[in-house]
Amino acid sequence: MCTSITYTTKDHYFGRNFDYEISYDEVVTITPRNYSLDFRKVKNLDTHYAMIGIAAGIADYPLYYDATNEKGLSMAGLNFSGYAEYKEIQSEKDNVSPFEFIPWILGQCSTVNEAKKLLETINLAAINFSEDLPLSPLHWLLADKEKSIVIESMKDGLHIHDNPVGVLTNSPSFDYQLFNLNNYRVLSNKTPKNNFSNKVVLNAYSRGMGGIGLPGDLSSTSRFVKATFTKLNSVSGDSESESISQFFHILGSVEQQKGLCDVGGGKYEYTIYSSCCNVDKGIYYYRTYEDSQITAVDMNKENLDSDKLISYQIVEKQQINYIN
């Protein structure tokens, strides 16, 4: 399960927690403009926008979990188990496999509105990458510097939801997640008044009591509420350091620790990595479960006209800054 958010200070930011029980040798991957993006059923993109993100490092293809292109359009795929359904090939549609979806959109589009036009003719087709790598049930957060949408392929068709909060977690569908916020409208970042009764004196014995009732469990619905409340009430300075620090603190409010989510077989779901991309500057920041230090890769320091993928293995060993 995962959480993805957008965030704006002076610049614009996009990122996510990747929560799972298995790592697939994740790598920070830059796809330059002239790397040929080959697709199974739609026309290949021999030239396209450059992009950066984290991908599975088990194939010679950018199997992105999340990515941002050079125009600032960003996209992340999150688990949507029990709800996602991919379709058979439809001759009148652009048949794109979900494993191709992120590079197909980010390779051609600079804004959400441009992506919406492509989505009018898309069919997310049930085409596995390989026998060893079947498709995962996903939905997607897509965002530019101004707005975001959620894309869900379900049994009754493709759903595209405007996303006014810039947050996505997992199942159930996004329309429910958004409606569920109504149940938490009493939450506040301020000390609440006594609305219980005017016949009894009730004291505010602690700071933070406006947040009583804020979910703290690891379920997707609870993480959606908590991440949204945290993000929308978040305050930070405009500097790059303050912005990315606050971004990671927001994600940290819903991160998963090893041992709290037993998935069987001696395995536990946990936050394998957290990412934050400055979409204006093309700088991709991340930290991993074992390494709390923030690591950065700047796509604009690479040759973006290359025809070869550029990859950096993610840092997993804890880096400690000793000062004596």
Q: At what angle do helices 220-232 and 240-252 cross, to 10 degrees?
A: 150
Q: Is 277 an annotated catalytic residue?
A: no
Do 174 and 161 touch, CB atoms closer than 8 A? yes
Contact in structure between 256 and 269 (CB atoms under 8 Å): yes
131 touches 157 (CB < 8 A): no
Q: Are 137 and 171 in contact (CB under 8 A)?
A: no
Helix (H) or strand (E) holding 221: helix 220-232
254 within 8 A of 227, measured Cβ to Cβ: yes
Q: Which residues contact 236 (CB under 8 A, 6 or more apart)?
A: 9, 242, 243, 245, 246
Query: CA-CA distance, 150 to 143, in Å (whole number)?
Result: 9
CB-CB neighbours of 311 under 10 Å: 15
The Cα-based distances of 291 to 18, 90, 258, 287 in angstroms read 14, 45, 14, 6
Asked if residue 172 has a cis previous peptide bond (ω within 30° of 0), the answer is yes
Radius of gyration of the chain (CA): 20
Sheet with 270-278, side-by-side order of all strands: 167-168, 2-8, 12-20, 270-278, 283-288, 295-298
CB 36 within 8 A of CB 44: yes
Are 18 and 65 contacting, i.e. CB atoms less than 8 angstroms apart? yes
* List 2, 109, 276, 277, catalytic entry: 2
Annotated catalytic residues are 2
